[in-house]
Amino acid sequence: MLGIDVKKENNHIVITWQLTKVEIPISDIEGISLDNTCAGEEKNAIRIGTPFATTDRVVIKTKKETYILFTTNPNAIVNKIHSYQ
């Protein structure tokens, strides 16, 4: 799969993209939102995906980190993560 893949393994959300694999404990997730800025508002966020002008951004805030996912299908990712919580 060329895009970002999100799945649940045990009590973690696992995000994979190319050679990147990020595991986020579900209990650490504090919020999920969309970001309308070009590169994301959070300067220290971990960015996953290719930031094109036509991509949308999904922001996952956790207790320790903020993740920005660059995707063309933000609703599917948000809905999938919500279904795992």
Show me where the domains of the chain are located: 5-84
| pTM exceeds 0.85, yes or no | yes
- Strand pairing report for 66-71 and 5-9: unpaired
pLDDT at position 46 over 60: yes
pLDDT at position 22 over 60: yes
Q: Assign 1 a pLDDT band (cuts: 50, 70, 90).
A: very low
- When the pLDDT of each residue in the chain is averaged and rounded to a whole number, the result is 89
In the numeric block, which tokens belong to residue 84?
Answer: 């795992």
The rounded percent of the chain whose pLDDT value lies above 90 is 69
Q: Which residue has the tokens 């999920």?
A: 32
Residue 41: CB partners within 8 Å, gap ≥ 6? 35, 59
Give residue 4's identity as a one-letter amino acid code: I
SS3 label, residue 46: strand
Average pLDDT in the 54-72 region?
A: 91
Q: Assign 23 a pLDDT band (cuts: 50, 70, 90).
A: very high
Domain 5-84: assigned CATH number: 2.30.29
Check if the beta carbon of residue 65 is closer than 8 Å to that of residue 30.
no
